[in-house]
Structure 1
């Protein structure tokens, strides 16, 4: 769209507000400046073509809290926007897109297009199709509208206008999601509708229309009891949160479902109505390959094994093995799609990471856990014992016909738990290792493609007309690629890059590299030669983007992470994020990187090896260290930002990481999701830094480990904490850095304590206290004493714990640290309660709670309430204890603090037992046991089992 008065020279800016606020011009990302400048553009764009007064702008941006400099700030923001909108305007030329008059500012309608406008247009079009009863078109437009969203509207921008507009757009989005579920339901796609509604009611549990649709979807799936339970859940929530009853429509739906009214559509049969849950039928196969030629004999053989022509049981295990680049994965996915109808109960897919350089393989227990979760087992119900998990999987698959595809297995040992599945199910495995000795397995060894097949594949990839123009060159190229699909794809990608490059020119390049010809005929070496060619074409290109992409590939060889993001590439190259984003996109187009979810990408295993070699060849040790240091800085700043959003009261040891702009994180929910998603990369980067011979990198790796302590504690990843902090302790000892050693001892002690290994924790905590006599500031000494008291209290050594706790309290008040004072009061209260001084313990917890509320420290407030609950139980009042514990449980579940969650559940189980509410006690204690086993909280595993034993004895006594 051309701008007013500028002909066709200036295209309109594309403004995205349905998520983080960004703008682009001609596919180029624009820097919109600070948040309030972005908010200014949003205000003007929403009223494009209208005059917005300066006073209205100030009110929209600040409301009643406008600063004295607000008017000047508006001028600054408008000036910044004008530079973006009209970068080519002459020094004295008039502004045409963002104009000013005595009445205010006006943004031309052609200056800016927003995705919100497109969203509303799509919704309006959807409703026209709805009125015509064109259900397919209605659903298509709804899904297109929802596809425009990339997060919370207006990306956390401040100000009254943005808050109001955010609420309006989010309300529309929820309504459209309800319409989407309604359309799916009317089209008979009940399960898909139900999946939408489960997510919707989780996000907005008080929307009655969503609840009504969910009830109807469940009923039509034959799950009448669950549909009725949805109503009861909605009624409880409405009463608790709003003090109202369900509306007439929701009550009417409940009554109709209760009597299985025929007007509702499909009625549940007695068998399905009684079923506790619908059977999950996963469909996880990657997309069927668009370019697949040849391998005819192998495909026929695979089909005969997995879907026998005579209807007999399929072969239990089929392994496709062969050299790297032979096309094992593509063949397996193709075959799986061809036989999918033979497996109506689902097709599962997992990458086993067996040959992924620098990344840990998927272990058998992780494999079993992922499969069980895919089959509908709740995460907390997955056994932590491998044999139990194997038994559960076999039980789930009994009587079913399911195909499991395991790509890139390291060998038979990695998949051994799956080698004895119930009859009717099949396992299709790809691996570089032989499966000849595996039980009940047929192995197909994949060699090179025939020359004719390779030429046919080239024709598919680059166009038949191009191959026909020079068939001899095409046949030669097929031979030079050694009949390996990966090499053929990479060569074709180079030809597709420039459609004017003759095939003979590419052949000449391959012939000039005599070693490359030899390697091309030798499995993995063939792939390396093709990758080198791909890299050289980028690195020697006259285009800046190509050369940046080549540098990105080279620098990615520095890291040992499972995947990466453009932010990581920006840190590696020390370039702006926009440049890194374009470089990654260029690598994806060149087939040197594979796109993944959430703007992530990964390198193919062989590309990863090649990138490591590039880094060794083209980057000196200093350049590699500097690149790693920048990534450590990126992750260090991002983890600390994430933790501030989750809980700003937790303390991190100071360290000067390399200065990098952190990932864009705006709220606690987003931070929590990011931390869990990025956890493997954070762990790998911290470990890589700590093993570096460079002292600075080793220290930064250790401090990244320390920064990650609280997030891992919240998520209850105790095993990760122990491994990381153990490595940090090695760094401290290797560098003779007593500060790192002291911190590592302390964090190891906390990790062991969270795992219930208190005797071991005491050794490390005493080591930190001893080091703190000479190392660190008063705060560090104070914290070490407090943590020593925590461990001693856990060991019931209250007489020793109390003096340390009181010394911590004295030091905390002396140096004026509020968080230390609250922690000290907590351990003082625990010690005094252990010694039987209930009044003193109650006073300590009360003071701690008051201080925590004043500071807004939700975690310490929860700790104080847990302590007070224990006081109530000590006094024989489990009813009061339960009230406090239920309040804390709700809070910690919202904050995802798993470590506190398991404690609340355990204490609630004990309180319920003491109240004689045995059913509720058992439910709490079983949940405690599940969560504690899942997260390795050893103490609470024992606690739950002891309480369950007491519960059983209580039942027996009651029966007597």
Structure 2
């Protein structure tokens, strides 16, 4: 029966529908079939018109087109489809061969093959049609192979050689065909040709694939050589009982490592037991796509059948498929008549295992809900393999190996987007494509939807798509096209959670940090830590959370947005605020616990010390180091969103962050804290945070900003009549002047602060003042006075038992002794400072101790260990973002390289020091760097260059009253 169609497009449309009989084909798929990468704006209307024309041209007695919301389908009697008749004939022949009726099987299979009148879907173009044709042509070739095997088993041979020769020429790498040709040649008495055909095969496989012939071919070759091959052909492999694999997605991208693992030759048919692989991952990550791709690549290893069943574990609007129902589908897919399918689950599972025994099947169980759903569906003996996909880690599935799928890499994500969106519209827009896939979180489903929407909207530009996706509150809504939606995929997983887990998921959406642990969740939920731990592990198992570091969890960006949306929709505002407040209190309690452990002498104004939250165990400074290292970004994010509480949080947590080397986060905390204090009229808190912010600016080398901030704090304290607070502010201004090399101003501020500090200050205040006076005296060459100040400060700090500030005292004593020439004593103090600094996590002071120790070792002539310490200081400085320490480290490195005669390295380090010192106004470093550059020039014989550097240094030193004046004048005079 023939039907007149309106041209190639009508033919492709009909082919697409007939390849999926009795199934809905979405409009997006049909548009892809008809127009591929260049659909017109009117594609949907044209598709609708084409369906109407097709409906009028078909014989309604045999074909019935039906329409649903998202697409179209065709209902037809299978008897009127050649492909159905062919598949039925292949299945009948298989059954007949199993029953020993080979002649009948040969006739049945020959009749089935006679239905072919050329290549499948000949004359139709397009990627989707070509993929379908490739699958059908593969089925035809497999059937021809089976027919040849049956004829060989019936003692035919000579007559098959021409056909086999032609098939081998068409499929040169198909070993099974070469096996049959070699056997037919041997049976025909052409042994030398058979051996030559084997050698040709070996050379071809080595050249093309870099592999040897498979075990079956090698065994056949050995038997021919030894003349041990019986005249009877080996039993032919029966035709596959079924192939229900979906078609491959034509734009499959990447996943090379994952495919390599799934195609591991150690598995499959050579494995001693059934091979079970579970592919798990978050919604939309591409589990099914990967499984289907792998199944097609593995197909030849499983000649008895390749089966696919969707278990609907996470399908919108459908209940998960009952194991008994799944077994019914599987048994009928291998053509067990319905009347022979047992009624109960146990009997069906037993029949299924019996049917698969001693056969080679590949079974894909897609979209599994849990282990219990899958377990009855597994084969019981070796030879078969099972691929399972699930959003849940199937950890209790005996004998299964797990492959957890991550999002795409950046190059893979970009290529997927370009391939779907069309290269002609993405060429030359690499930055925009990169931004789109980043906003999609590198999630394949999101990228496919974004690319598909872009492709079908010719008026859109990539910049416009980026703007639409950049709106975080509407991004999930943007990632929806037809019946595909990122939000729908997430919703199915969310609805599978129990009430407690749903609440945890929502409240985690309120967490402002980049990651979290069980203590943070316990605070949000107001539950015991053990319960929070179990919830996090459960959410991880269903891939709603990600874990890259032990004990730390985070969301994928899109899931985080979905969780926040759920919280806003389902959590009352009062409960959201209560949860945030509990998290704020937890972070504050954590900070106080850390402070008590490593900075016991510090007094935080206006903050209660009694913890109300469950806290991680903290017993050593190393514990504090680890906790702040894990939580520093969360601390900054919590403070930024804490509103009025930001003042309290910043007062406690800012110094901790700064002391542990997280200056950027400390600056953020202080900024938000000051804003909150000003908004509340909290002058005491504002002054406290001005002092802390100024110290943070000093850490970052922003000394003028520090002086400005200290000045604001001083004005507040003087207006409040707080003499102690004003004195502390003056003392800190002295520190900023020290770092600027303004030693006269530094000494003036420190001496102004001294009476109030002596009268009202704490032991810690007095120790800090003495230490800073010692620093000024050291820079001015008054080394013995400096050492006395530092020793007195060290004694006070030891009395306090505060190891964090004790590090600073040891370091300063060592520095003064170094300048005084007491190098062995200096080295002892500096090494103690470095060891203690590492223990308590005082990163900044440890960095300073390293470059000071390097200078001491240099003066002792121990250049190699000096280099090691200076380089360590440089690395630590860059990790902390401290330009001050970086400049000192470069300065010492330059001096070391000069002493070692490495003048190029010395010049480079000193020049970079001079640049850093100039940008931050650090005069002492400028003088020393210029002096060093002068010595480098003098070593090269460049007298005038050296004099220029020394005169520049002398001008600065003379203005500041530095002890280097005399030495510089001597050098200039001698030059």
Normalised by the length of structure 1, the TM-score is 0.45
